[in-house]
Amino acid sequence: MRHKHLKTRYKNFTWSLFIILFMISEISGCKGFGHLTHIDMTYPKASFCEDCHIDIYNEWVNSPHAKAFTSNTFRMATHNYSFTDCLGCHAPEPTFSATQFESRNIFREEGVTCTSCHLEESKMVGPVKPTGMLAPHPVNVDDDRYRNSQFCGRCHEGTFKEWSDVKAENKHTCQECHMPPVKRKMTQSKKFISKMIVAMEDESVQKKHTFGIYMELPDIAPFHVTVNREGELFKLVLENNIPHALPTGDFGIRIVTVDILAVQTNNEIIRIKRFELIKALHTAIPPKGSANWTFSLSNTVKAVRCVISRSRVNSDKREDLYQTEVPII
Same domain, 42 and 124: yes
Q: Are residues 148 and 263 in the same domain?
A: no
- Confirm whether 19 is domain-assigned: no
User: What's this model's pTM, rounded to 2 decimal places?
Assistant: 0.82
**Total domains, the chain:** 2
pLDDT for the residue 9: 55
- Residues 178, 231 within the same domain: no
pLDDT score of 30: 45
The answer to whether residue 46 sits within a structural domain is yes
Does residue 175 sit in the same domain as residue 49?
A: yes
Task: Mark whether 56 and 139 lie in a shared domain.
Answer: yes
Domain boundary among 207, 233, 260: 207
- Residue 247 in any domain: the answer is yes
Domain end point (choices 182, 207, 232): 207
For residues 228 and 203, state if they share a domain: no
- Residue 186: CB atoms within 10 A of its CB come to 21
> Do residues 139 and 32 both lie within one domain?
yes
* Burial (CB count <10 Å: 0-12, 13-18, 19+), residue 57: buried
Provide block-wise average pLDDT over 10 residues at a time, the chain (329 residues): 51 52 44 60 82 93 95 90 91 71 88 92 89 82 93 93 92 92 88 66 93 76 93 95 92 90 96 93 95 95 95 73 92
Asked, for residue 172, whether it belongs to a domain, the answer is yes
pLDDT score of 43: 76
Q: Which residues does 155 contact at the CB level (< 8 Å), separation at least 6?
A: 89, 92, 101, 112
The gap from C-alpha 33 to its chain's centroid, in whole angstroms, comes to 28
Domain contains 249? yes
40-57 pLDDT, tens digit per residue, is 656 789 998 998 899 999
Question: Does some domain include residue 218?
Answer: no
Same domain for 136 and 277, yes or no, is no
* pLDDT score recorded for residue 176: 92
Please count the residues of the chain: 329
> Could you tell me the residue range of the domain that residue 232 belongs to?
223-327
Task: Tell whether 259 and 187 lie within a shared domain.
Answer: no
For residue 130, give Cα distances in angstroms to 4, 138, 142, 165. 25, 10, 12, 36
- Tell me: do 120 and 150 sit in the same domain: yes
User: Which of 178, 207, 236 is the last residue in one of the domains?
Assistant: 207
- Here the CATH number for the domain that contains residue 320 is 2.60.40.730
Pair 177, 201 in one domain? yes
Is 212 a domain residue?
no
Say how far apart CA 115 and CA 5 lie, in whole Å.
44
Would you state the pLDDT for residue 201? 85
Strands of the sheet with 119-120, listed across from one edge? 119-120, 123-126, 139-141
Q: Same domain, yes or no, for 315 and 255?
A: yes
What local confidence, expressed as pLDDT, does residue 221 receive? 85
Domain assignment present for residue 189? The answer is yes
